[in-house]
């Protein structure tokens, strides 16, 4: 085949040498606009795993890189006058120039033609090529020329950064944080050869502008950074090799993704590679990794499917299919890491102590979990766990084995929970006339015995018309109160769990079937014997939840709003009389109070509509009345939809404002859920996918939070609590499958100090032994 690689970066060069090595008969040319020894940027990094992958494909190149690279395991944080260090992270650093020179020399040794100081206008400049590799970087001309085919999505991020170097040598991947009168700056630093370290300085746009850096020259910017980080530089200078850039040389990162990676231009097949097709933020240092592994995968596809012209189309299809998932996974991790650095000045730097800030930074991409940190640096993590435990008021354990974060106590007002695990309020639709029965006693009692610190009853309604379905429980009469008291007394008498009541009004989503009845959830009640069983529904505005399917609600009048408020108050008093430890107001998921908050469902023109402050007015009124009726020593939380997942709906930024309003009204925690306000929602699911909402609300609004959503293992809970992303974790579906989920997860992570109900203790040792045996067998490979 005749192959032309446009762009002589790592992707183009490495693919060229791998393909030439695989089949010397290929005619391969790499075309590069710069001179052989030009370089822009300083050092690049990739992981030990990428290095091993390269060794499998070309040991000669891997050996040369290994002789030139700098390897380090440690990450070091300089923050608020403290230096904290953690090991076991495994990075490789090498000068970009050195890496390219190694790849260039290997290409020449194998017979690849290298053409420098040439910049093609397009892939059409090589009409006799069977395959054109467009590895021409983030500003790819080839991608731009065929944008209608490749369909690039390019997002420019808000932070500013400048890529510098210094002759001060660092023996760890180092992060510096410095606060100025206008905000926080951070530096990402790593050594890449015997004389030089990369020194990337980053800050938010508003901080950059406040310091006048938008008007600064490159030299001015270097001088500013030297002064800012003078104490750490210890007399060394900062250097730039970007004087070719106009202005101050500060850049914005661009995230690139493409829907299509390859095409046929009428003469040649064309495929994008490296930064031309996808970028990964330097916060996890994976741009070079992506480029090198692109080259490996495309070479592998040619090896497996045939490296002749007639196979190119099939190879390129398989290449995109195989690489897309890995690339998306890494880009998502890079996106998380990038966002962490973009918001850390506002969300974490002032709020967190250095110990917790370090943990948050290490887990910023969500690829590194709590137990993964234990594998990397057990001593550091256990020291941090002891720090968390001391902050929770626990004494230093005699055996120095720390209590995992999820099993530390949590105190709010006059209540202390034994751990951070919450059984979510999960609708069971099994009440009769609003009265919880034996089913609820068994359901909630079993979960209270299962080890969680707090068990929530499902959403309970203050009136018959407030129910979602006929099977929803209520607290509008004393018979219901007494039935709930029976359950509460069982929980208190047979476990050390606490129990919470969640009160809510269905609003426009009421008068519907139990999910397993009739047309299913969120559909109007089916008639029985020809009798219509539906009741009138109400909302902030006369807008149905699902137009053409669900009933159109009546927009509440002021008198009706006051009546419903008073019903909530009466139900709160009954909850207290029943003995509940905790009360939550449901203001999420499109139910009545949520319908007031969201602009998607509130179109009122009175004082309860319009701006967010007005839309919050009625939910805050209800909450304040409930708080006044609920005992002062007992906590109250509010569940909100922190994101409607619909354009024009509630956003996470709105959620911060909503949380601040409820905090001012006396709320102790915000239970951060999302969605279910509109059937048009387009949520982005994934593990712990709603935790970022709890994180943002907690650290920007300054109120404790409960994280919910796809939290399914102890590692998740430990990571969330340890990083300060939430104060409690609500676990739903895993608790449906296993009432003793908390006890089992403790055994899985080897935490044996968790007490079991006396009746179940005979099973504790057996479970712990079986889990240890399974782990040992897995480690032995049997």
Q: Which residues are catalytic?
A: 591
Give Cβ neighbours of residue 144 (< 8 Å, ≥ 6 apart). Answer: none
DSSP secondary structure string, 145-185? HTHHHH-EEEEEEEEEEEEEEES---SSEEEEEEEETTEEE
- The residue written with tokens 């102890």 in the block is 714
CA 52 from chain center: how many Å?
28
CA-to-CA separations, 507 to 14, 481, 546, 588, in angstroms, rounded = 61, 22, 13, 11
Q: What gap in Å lies between CA 45 and CA 318, rounded to an integer?
A: 28
Q: Measured at the alpha carbon of residue 251, what is the angle toward residues 102 and 31, in degrees to the nearest 5?
A: 35
**Alpha helix stretches (DSSP H) within 23-163:** 48-57, 59-68, 96-110, 141-145, 147-150
Q: Residue 561: how many CA atoms within 13 Å on its side-chain side?
A: 18
DSSP state of 268: S
Burial 634-644 (b: 16+ CB within 10 A, else e): bbbbbbbbbbb
CA neighbor of 588 nearest in space, from 466, 675, 501: 675
Q: Are 131 and 166 in contact (CB under 8 A)?
A: no
**Cβ-proximal residues to 33 (8 Å cutoff; 6+ apart), any chain:** 116, 117, 118, 119
Q: How many CA atoms lie within 13 A of 624 on its CB side?
A: 11
User: In sequence order, which residues have a C-beta less than 8 Å from that of residue 550 and are 6 or more positions away?
Assistant: 508, 509, 512, 522, 523, 524, 537, 544
Nearest Cα neighbor of 430 from 448, 457, 462, 466 is 457
Q: Are 588 and 597 in contact (CB under 8 A)?
A: no
Where does residue 549 fall: left (phi above 0), alpha (psi -120 to 50 degrees), or beta otherwise? alpha
- Give me the residues paired with residue 77 across strands: 84, 175
Handedness of CA 769, 775, 780, 782 (dihedral sign): positive
Q: How many other CB atoms are there within 10 angstroms of residue 229's CB atom?
A: 23
Find out whether 490 and 437 touch, Cβ atoms under 8 Å.
no
Tell me the three state secondary structure of residue 319: helix
> Which of 114, 63, 705, 760 lies closest to 449, judged by CA?
760
For helices 617-629 and 558-578, give the axis angle rounded to 10 degrees.
30
Residue for token pair 């917790």: 356
Residue 359 to residue 719: CA distance in whole angstroms: 9
Report DSSP state, residue 406.
G
Question: Residue 459 belongs to what H/E stretch?
Answer: strand 454-460
Contact 31, 115 (CB under 8 A): yes
- Pseudo-torsion of CA 354, 356, 361, 365, nearest 10°? 180
Residue 179: partners with Cβ closer than 8 Å, 6 or more residues away: 185, 349
Residues 756, 757, 758, 764, CA torsion sign: negative
d(CA 200, CA 390): 36
- DSSP symbols for 81-94: TEEEEE----EEEE
Of 63, 86, 82, 55, the closest CA to residue 73 belongs to: 86
């Amino acid at each position: 085949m005749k192959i032309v690689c446009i762009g002589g970066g790592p992707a183009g060069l490495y693919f060229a040498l791998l393909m030439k090595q695989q089949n010397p008969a290929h005619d391969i040319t790499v075309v590069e606009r710069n001179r052989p020894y030009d370089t822009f940027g300083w050092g690049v990094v990739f992981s030990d795993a990428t290095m091993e992958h390269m060794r499998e494909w070309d040991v000669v190149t891997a050996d040369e890189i290994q002789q030139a690279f700098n390897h380090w395991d440690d990450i070091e944080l300089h923050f608020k006058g403290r230096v904290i260090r953690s090991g076991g992270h495994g990075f490789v650093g090498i000068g970009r120039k050195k890496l390219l020179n190694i790849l260039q020399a290997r290409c020449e040794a194998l017979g690849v033609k290298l053409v420098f100081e040439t910049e093609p206008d397009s892939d059409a400049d090589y009409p006799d090529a069977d395959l054109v590799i467009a590895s021409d970087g983030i500003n790819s001309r080839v991608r731009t020329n065929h944008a209608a085919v490749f369909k690039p999505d390019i997002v420019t991020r808000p932070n500013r950064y400048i890529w510098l170097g210094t002759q001060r040598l660092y023996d760890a991947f180092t992060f510096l944080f410095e606060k100025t009168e206008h905000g926080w700056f951070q530096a990402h630093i790593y050594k890449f050869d015997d004389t030089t370290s990369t020194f990337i300085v980053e800050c938010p746009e508003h901080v950059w502008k406040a310091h006048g850096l938008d008007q600064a020259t490159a030299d001015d910017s270097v001088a500013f950074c030297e002064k800012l980080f003078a104490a750490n530089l210890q007399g060394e200078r900062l250097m730039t090799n970007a004087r070719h850039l106009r202005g101050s040389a500060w850049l914005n990162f661009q995230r690139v993704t493409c829907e299509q990676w390859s095409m046929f231009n009428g003469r040649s097949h064309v495929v994008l590679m490296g930064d031309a097709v996808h970028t990964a933020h330097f916060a996890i240092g994976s741009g070079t990794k992506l480029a090198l592994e692109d080259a490996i995968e495309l070479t592998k596809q040619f090896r497996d499917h045939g490296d002749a012209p007639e196979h190119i189309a099939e190879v390129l299809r398989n290449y995109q299919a195989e690489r897309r998932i890995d690339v998306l996974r890494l880009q998502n991790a890079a996106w998380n890491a990038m966002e962490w650095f973009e918001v850390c000045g506002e969300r974490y730097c002032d709020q967190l102590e250095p110990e917790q800030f370090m943990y948050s930074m290490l887990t910023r991409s969500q690829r590194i979990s709590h137990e993964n940190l234990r594998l990397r640096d057990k001593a550091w993590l256990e020291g941090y766990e002891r720090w968390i435990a001391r902050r929770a008021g626990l004494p230093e354990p005699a055996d120095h084995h720390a209590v995992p974060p999820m099993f530390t106590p949590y105190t709010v007002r006059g209540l202390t929970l034994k751990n951070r695990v919450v059984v979510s309020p999960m609708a069971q639709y099994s009440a009769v006339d609003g009265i919880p029965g034996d089913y609820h006693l068994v359901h909630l009692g079993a979960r209270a015995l299962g080890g969680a610190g707090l068990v929530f009853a499902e959403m309970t309604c203050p009136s018959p018309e407030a129910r979602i379905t006929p099977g929803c429980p209520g607290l509008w009469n004393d018979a219901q109160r007494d039935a709930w008291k029976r359950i509460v007394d069982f929980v208190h008498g047979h476990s050390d769990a606490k129990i919470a009541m969640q009160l809510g009004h269905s609003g426009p989503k009421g008068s519907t079937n139990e999910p397993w009845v009739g047309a299913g959830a969120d559909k109007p009640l089916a008639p029985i014997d020809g009798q219509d069983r539906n009741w009138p529904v109400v909302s902030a505005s006369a807008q149905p939840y699902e137009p053409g399917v669900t009933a159109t609600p009546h927009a509440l009048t002021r008198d009706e709003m006051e009546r419903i408020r008073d019903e909530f108050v009466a139900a709160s008093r009954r909850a207290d009389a029943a003995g509940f430890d905790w009360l939550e107001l449901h203001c999420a998921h499109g139910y009545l109070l949520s319908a007031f908050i969201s602009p998607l469902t509130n179109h009122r023109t009175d004082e309860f509509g319009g701006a967010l402050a007005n839309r919050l007015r009625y939910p805050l009124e209800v909450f304040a009345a409930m708080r006044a009726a609920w005992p002062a020593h007992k906590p109250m939380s509010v569940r909100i939809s922190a994101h409607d997942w619909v354009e024009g709906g509630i956003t996470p930024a709105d959620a911060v404002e909503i949380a601040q309003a409820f905090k001012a009204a006396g709320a102790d925690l915000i239970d951060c859920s999302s969605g279910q306000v509109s059937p048009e929602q387009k949520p982005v699911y994934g593990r712990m996918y709603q935790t970022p909402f709890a994180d943002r609300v907690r650290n920007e609004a300054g109120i404790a939070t409960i994280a919910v959503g796809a939290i399914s293992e102890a590692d998740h809970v430990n990571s969330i609590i340890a990083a300060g992303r939430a104060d409690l974790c609500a676990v739903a579906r895993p608790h449906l499958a296993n009432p003793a989920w908390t006890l089992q997860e403790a055994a899985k992570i080897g935490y044996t100090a968790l007490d079991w109900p006396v009746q179940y203790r005979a099973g504790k040792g057996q479970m712990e032994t079986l889990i240890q045996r399974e782990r040992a067998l897995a480690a032995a490979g049997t």
